[in-house]
Each structure stands twice: as C-alpha cells, then as structure tokens.
Amino acid sequence: MDLLEILAVLNDLPDTFKRQGPPYTQLIDAFGFALATYTLGADATFDQTETFLNATGDWLDIWGLLFNVPRNQNEAYSSYRAGIQTINNAWVGTVPAIQAWMDFYAAGGTITENDNGLGYIISFSGAVPLSQINAFLRLFNRIRPDGVPFQLQQAGLGLYLGTEEFLGDGRVVGNYLTARTTPIGLLLSASTPNAVPLLPTVLITDLTLSPP
C-alpha cells in the first residue's frame, strides 16, 4: 500500500468529519507518511515471503534454510536459487537422478557400478575443486539411495607426455596423460540421516529482517 492509497483511506470520511486546509491536511499527510513507511516495508516483506522467485538477499537464505538447503560460501544468489529449486524438484534414488545431480553441482562427473565391490563409484572431473565436491556431498543425502555404498575418486588433469623435454624445464609434477584416477579422502557413509528441521535464526539475529 503506497502513500496515495493510504491518504485515500484516511480521507474516506464524510465532509462533516473533515476540515478544509491546514493544519488538518498537514496532520493527515503526516499520518499518511508514517503509515506509508510501515506499509511499504510490510509489502516488501510480504513479497519476499509469499513468492520464492521474489526473494533476494537474506530472505533467499531463509527460503533455503526452510528447505534444509544452506547456501555455500560465496555462492551467488542466482546459483543458490537454482540449487534450491533443483534439490526440491529432483527425482531421487536412481543412477540417472545421481547423474543429473552431478551435472548440476559437479559437471563432468560420472557414476558407474563398482565391478570390484558393492555399490557405485562416483568419479569427479579433475577440474572440480574440493570445495565444490564438498558442496555436492553435503546435499547428496537428498538424492542417493539409502544403504548403498559409494566410492569417490577424481580424474587427473594434464597431458605431460614429453612436455617437460619440450619446454626444457625438467620434471613436472602431475598425472601421466588423463586416464589415471585418485581416491578422494572424504568419507561417505552407506546410511543417510533423517531430515532435521531447521529454524532460520537469521529471522531473529539479522538487524534488517528483525530490527530492535
């Protein structure tokens, strides 16, 4: 509700209840400005909480926490919004579901059956940093089948065949060609924990959302 709408409500009285000119009109204008300051903020809050696509800033964080999808460190809000939508609309428990989740959070990775054991092997691209792998695994319990073991590995980067001789720089550290993979030192339990309801405490502590 903006200022003109508020003034229209305040002035919606019979003429016998109103006075012409100041100071009456000045008093009504003062009431209108004070109420508009509140209602504009209330309308903005309503827009942020009613419609997910309207949420920005800390309000988007609150939407994510309500769905138990916390924002990654320094994650852009556009990416975070897409992540909240993806995790809540994703299908779960199948290999295609896991592959689709990898395509979103760790593009270039693959999932294959473990021929030498139980479960599956998740192979991340060598270009994916460890922080992004952690972000993938943090929400992976929402996608994966319960009780199925997973092994994690990452492909190597670089083509080093003859490169050091060509450059004359001596030996370089790296994987030979790109076929080699290395295990990732992260533990992934075969079981999945129950969902834990989260209270967005930012509603209480944030000075903008909850002014003193």
* pLDDT for position 211: 65
Tokens 């209330």 map to which residue? 42
User: CA angle, 86 as apex, 134 and 52 as ends, to 5°?
Assistant: 115
Radius of gyration of the chain (CA): 28
Q: What is d(CA 142, CA 208) in angstroms, rounded to the nearest whole number? A: 32
Dihedral sign computed on CA atoms, order 60, 61, 66, 70 = positive
Cβ(121)–Cβ(153) under 8 Å?
Answer: yes
**Residue 195 backbone class (left: φ over 0; alpha: ψ -120 to 50; beta: rest):** beta
Task: Identify the segments of the chain with pLDDT beneath 70.
Answer: 1, 38, 40-50, 156-180, 186-187, 189-190, 192-200, 202-204, 206-212
- How far from chain centre, in Å, is Cα 150? 24
- How far from chain centre, in Å, is Cα 1? 31
* pLDDT for position 146: 80
Q: What is d(CA 115, CA 86) in angstroms, rounded to the nearest whole number? A: 30
- Please name the residues in contact with 21: beta carbons below 8 A apart, sequence gap of 6 or more: none
Q: What is residue 23's three-state secondary structure?
A: coil
Domain spans, the chain: 3-50, 92-194
At residue 145, φ and ψ (nearest 5 deg) are -75, 140
Q: Specify the amino acid at residue 130.
A: L
* pLDDT for position 141: 81
110: which DSSP letter?
E
Among 145, 52, 37, smallest CA distance to 97 is for: 145
Cβ(127)–Cβ(158) under 8 Å?
Answer: no
* pLDDT for position 9: 81
